[in-house]
Structure 1
Amino acid sequence: MSESPSILVAGAGLAGLVAATELHEAGVSVRVWEARDRVGGRCWSPAVGPNDVRLDLGASWHWEAHERVRTLAERLGIERVRQHEPGVAVQEWARDDPVDHFEWPEAPPPSWRLVGGAQALHERLAAALPDAALRLRHRLRALQRAGGQVQATAQTPEGPQDASVDAVVLALPPRLAAHALQFDPALPDALASALRDTTTWMSPSAKAAVVYDRPFWREQGLAGRVRSAVGPVHDWHDAVTPDGHAALVGFMHPPGPDSPTPSDPGTRDAALVRQLVHCFGEAADSPIGIATADWRHDTATTPPTGPKPGPHTPPDPAPVLRRAQWEGRLHVAAAETAADHPGYLDGAIEAGRRAASALT
């Protein structure tokens, strides 16, 4: 590579921004192309309700074994809050039957959320990059190896944009890269197959967040935890913030004709409130904010072919995904490629650091 190599990182999720900031700190010229109009990838923490409570509608939790997340959050000055669990949980069996209550364990495996949402990690990392390094609404479409350079082409609001760089870090979901990008020369069959076959974490998921003026469930001695057999949300969790803003966040059945979750946004919001009233009583009837996300239809996460069929389990990445291609000029660094905790926030940090280390 040249004496002052230039590296393109495709994707401003956690893996991509970790790779970009570590390359920048090492003195490497780096640029980041992100298809969305924001950083964060599958970590999205929009402001919900009149108090702008930032809640995770994408990836959220990390656990004790995820030391990389803890140390990165500490370095960036982001506080962690332990997930509230103790108390009585609710089991919803049918829409018209009374709910059951059961004691939720006092000490499940402890998990943490990040104050300000998981997207805060990305915003702090992006702020450490030069102003010109990050380009939003730049969707990578093609990569062509040309001698000692890689020619990259992006779709942008102003039309196609090209860049010649020394190397590329693909911090995109592997299945998306397989379906959405053109490679010249074509990738080896083993790598192309591994990209197509790797499960995308969050891709089949949908989430909902509801904000209230007070945490009435805690006042009732309830954990805020709901397990439901009828939806639209099958698992609700307490998401009260450290400064006391009351919220519940849950994993929602993706909307559709055969789903308990309506496709129409207004009807969907009403169904969410009805469910919470059924589980918690009339105190749940007056939310001050509602937000939902369906990752199946996020085009920067899921290819047009849809999520990979089968159970939504953590990916089991093929080792070929961690090997540099094109004589060291192409690196795959999505969270799903990590050797440790693939698919999780911790795996994203590992993957980003692996790519940065290989290029410095």
Structure 2
Amino acid sequence: MIQTKIAIIGAGLSGLYAAYLLEQAKITNYVVLEARDRLGGRVYSEQGFDLGATWIWPELNPELMQLVYQLKLPFSEQFEKGKLVFERQRGIPPVQLSSPWASTPSIRLEGGMSSLVHGLAQQIPAQKILTQQQVTHITQQEQVPIHLSTQNPEGSEIIIEADYVLIALAPRLTAQHILFNPTLPPVLLNQWKDTATWMAPHAKYVAIYSEAFWKKQGLSGQASSHVGPMGEIHDASTSNSHAALFGFLGIPASIRKKVSEADLMAHCRAQLVRLFGSEAATPEYEYIKDWSADNFTATDDDWKTPAVSHGIVPANTPNDQIWHNRIIGIASEWSQHYSGYLAGAIDAAQVGVQRIQQLL
């Protein structure tokens, strides 16, 4: 059994930022529980290229940018100079257009967004983060510490006693994967189940090349397609001369489940050839990440009823006497200002930690 003051469920951005804030406040009696064998949650990079969360908008996300500066993380602006390629219809050649919108400037971190995760993890004592520990049950009685049961891949169980729990899992995952005793209020439980998990129904593809050949054509690397499989494509090159393109697959998750990863990649390469020419046919490396197939991100509800926008923000703590302010949701979907975004993870974690500090 592990006894602690605060248990944080999830070592994605919100969970790690909560731990970072606790360390900054000299509150060291906590533990972070992560079901995966890696840190980061929906932040995931391969070779420094993001297959999960990708952008930060400095003008819109000042608190997140402040953290980037605090951790001294290098970054570069998203490349958008040049024409956009638009593919309207199968069988008709794509056209090149001047960018049809004035976008808010965004940045990407060098080494991918995972560098933010690693930067936070370096500020947290390693022994306080337990990976491959999936929380399955949370139990509480009046005036008794909360009991959390975790299970590792081999089925071994650990019991954690804590006074407070910060839940850095998305609301829907929390409601569907953790059994609460006593049961949470039905209205709240249904609210959490009905909150779509951002990224859960989506998939991303990235192709890495020796050079950014599209720039020689006066193209930005941006593309929009009504044909697919990718509906939206962007330049993913880094400032250290690694060239790449990435795109969001527009095929519904229910269809992707019937297609092999190799076939999906082949269709993505063929689309890049249509849009950017023959040099796109032979990437040095390519990766695909289907978040709908990630059991620690998505449930059946996420790919059956995908989110189309960042929706109504659910309550972050039950209003009944036993659970109120003893369990607090801090995942991005609980943010009142940036629900579903990276900045939302920072905002919701900050709100949750401040609430705990008031109670200690």
Q: In structure 1, how many angstroms separate the alpha carbons of the residues matched to 2:197 and 2:273?
A: 34
Q: In structure 2, how many angstroms separate the alpha carbons of the residues matched to 1:219 and 1:106?
A: 22
Secondary structure at the aligned position of 2:241 is classed as coil
Q: Is 1:62 equivalent to 2:56 in the alignment? A: yes
Unaligned regions of 5+ residues in structure 2, if any? none
Map 1:237-256; keep pairs closer than 5 Å. Answer: 237-254=234-251
Residue in 2 aligned with 1:50? none
Residue in 1 aligned with 2:214? 217
**Larger CA deviation: 170-179 vs 54-63:** 54-63
Map 1:44-193; keep pairs closer than 5 Å. Answer: 44-47=44-47, 54-63=48-57, 64-105=59-100, 107-146=102-141, 147-158=143-154, 159-193=156-190
Displacement of 1:105: 5.0
Secondary structure at the aligned position of 1:104 is classed as coil
Task: Mark the CA change 1:328 to 1:145 in structure 2 (over 3 Å): closer, same or farther.
Answer: same
Q: In structure 2, how many angstroms separate the alpha carbons of the residues matched to 1:257 and 1:299?
A: 15
Secondary structure at the aligned position of 2:135 is classed as strand
Contact 2:185-2:318 within 8 A present in 1 as well: no
Residue in 2 aligned with 1:38? 38
Displacement of 1:192: 1.0
Task: Mark the CA change 1:328 to 1:258 in structure 2 (over 3 Å): closer, same or farther.
Answer: closer
Taking only aligned residues, the RMSD between alpha carbons, in angstroms, comes to 2.0
**TM-score w.r.t. length of structure 2:** 0.91
Task: Mark the CA change 1:257 to 1:196 in structure 2 (over 3 Å): closer, same or farther.
Answer: closer
Residue in 1 aligned with 2:288? 292
Displacement of 1:135: 1.0
Q: In structure 2, how many angstroms separate the alpha carbons of the residues matched to 1:198 and 1:256?
A: 18
Task: Mark the CA change 1:257 to 1:200 in structure 2 (over 3 Å): closer, same or farther.
Answer: closer
Q: Deviations over 1:285-316 (max 9, x none)?
A: 21101001111111111124444615521132
Q: In structure 1, how many angstroms separate the alpha carbons of the residues matched to 2:307 and 2:342?
A: 20
Q: In structure 2, how many angstroms separate the alpha carbons of the residues matched to 1:173 and 1:308?
A: 17
The letter for the 2-side match of 1:122 is: V
Residue in 2 aligned with 1:51? none
Contact 2:230-2:251 within 8 A present in 1 as well: no
Displacement of 1:190: 2.6
Identity level (%): 34
Contact 1:21-1:125 within 8 A present in 2 as well: yes
Unaligned regions of 5+ residues in structure 1, if any? 48-53
Of 262, 267, 278, 1:282 maps to 278
Task: Mark the CA change 1:85 to 1:148 in structure 2 (over 3 Å): closer, same or farther.
Answer: same
Q: Is 1:316 equivalent to 2:312 in the alignment? A: yes
Contact 2:184-2:318 within 8 A present in 1 as well: no
Residue in 2 aligned with 1:194? 191
Task: Mark the CA change 1:15 to 1:336 in structure 2 (over 3 Å): closer, same or farther.
Answer: same
Secondary structure at the aligned position of 2:120 is classed as helix
Q: In structure 1, how many angstroms separate the alpha carbons of the residues matched to 2:36 and 2:351?
A: 24
Displacement of 1:43: 0.9
Number of residue equivalences: 349
**TM-score w.r.t. length of structure 1:** 0.91
Contact 2:254-2:303 within 8 A present in 1 as well: no
Contact 1:256-1:263 within 8 A present in 2 as well: no
Q: Is 1:337 equivalent to 2:337 in the alignment? A: no
Residue in 2 aligned with 1:303? 299
The letter for the 2-side match of 1:62 is: I
Task: Mark the CA change 1:42 to 1:162 in structure 2 (over 3 Å): closer, same or farther.
Answer: same
Displacement of 1:327: 4.2
Task: Mark the CA change 1:28 to 1:209 in structure 2 (over 3 Å): closer, same or farther.
Answer: same
Displacement of 1:322: 5.3
Q: In structure 1, how many angstroms separate the alpha carbons of the residues matched to 2:244 and 2:216?
A: 14
Q: Is 1:268 equivalent to 2:268 in the alignment? A: no
**Larger CA deviation: 170-179 vs 297-306:** 297-306
The letter for the 1-side match of 2:111 is: G
Contact 1:88-1:221 within 8 A present in 2 as well: yes
Secondary structure at the aligned position of 1:62 is classed as coil
Displacement of 1:189: 2.2
Displacement of 1:346: 0.8
Q: Is 1:15 equivalent to 2:24 in the alignment? A: no
Secondary structure at the aligned position of 2:345 is classed as helix
Displacement of 1:80: 2.3
